[in-house]
A and B are shown apart, each in its own frame.
Chain A
Amino acid sequence: AQRVTQPEKLLSVFKGAPVELKCNYSYSGSPELFWYVQYSRQRLQLLLRHISRESIKGFTADLNKGETSFHLKKPFAQEEDSAMYYCALKPQGTSGTYKYIFGTGTRLKVLA
């Protein structure tokens, strides 16, 4: 079964502390993995995609096929990072279409 699991509903860290938002997936092929962020009262926005291996707003995520994980990390959290974070999987062979499978999301709260 295709599934994305985000085990933490809420993660609270202090400003300046490292952050790791966990994402595990279940998929038999080679999926594309994404992280979307939703700031308060705003739309879902793409934060990262694994194929580009980029760093956005200090966040990075590495696809670990052995552990089927795509954890999101940031070495020093900022208050403005407080938001809802969703891990999403796009199945292989769906080029051009974005039938994402989303996780349940993790709310990150960065405390002053």
Chain B
Amino acid sequence: EPEVTQTPSHQVTQMGQEVILRCVPISNHLYFYWYRQILGQKVEFLVSFYNNEISEKSEIFDDQFSVERPDGSNFTLKIRSTKLEDSAMYFCASSSQMATEAFFGQGTRLTVV
């Protein structure tokens, strides 16, 4: 069964450093998403991406964040200068145009120290 895969599973970074979280969506899917979950809090929408551009973003997704689909298979989330409060589990998801659900990856735990 096809799956969304995310790498790495855990990333530790120093405050102020740039991080790139990687995702490989399901191959025939057209819509891609990033969500995050701060420990003990709810899963929050960050951004959706379709047709090589951002289709919607939340207020969390400020100028520190960017997304890219560099090669037609990977979908990345970049955080330019990490802050302590960026520590969270980041989930990638994808959906096909005709699907009735989004499929989630297993998440990347980002720890900013």
Contact = CB atoms under 8 A, between A and B. Distances in A.
Interface of A: 34, 36, 42-46, 49, 51-52, 86, 96-105
Nearest to A46: B101
Interface residues of B, number: 27
Given A43-B106, A43-B107, A49 B101 contact: yes
Interface in B68-95: 91, 93, 95
A49 B91 CA distance: 20
17 contacts: A36-B104, A42-B106, A43-B105, A43-B107, A44-B91, A45-B104, A52-B100, A96-B31, A96-B97, A97-B48, A98-B48, A98-B95, A98-B101, A101-B45, A102-B35, A102-B42, A103-B42
Given A42-B106, A43-B105, A100 B97 contact: no
Q: Is the interface of B mostly helix, strand, loop or mixed?
A: strand
Given A49-B101, A104-B41, A98 B31 contact: yes
B101 A99 contact: no
Nearest to B92: A43
Contacts of B93: 98
B104 A43 contact: yes
Interface of B: 3-4, 30-31, 33, 35, 41-45, 48, 50, 55-56, 91, 93, 95, 97, 100-107
Contacts of A42: 106
A38 to B, nearest CB: 9
Contacts of B95: 96-98
Contacts of B43: 44, 86, 100, 102, 105
A51 B99 CA distance: 13
Nearest to B93: A98
Contacts of A86: 42-43
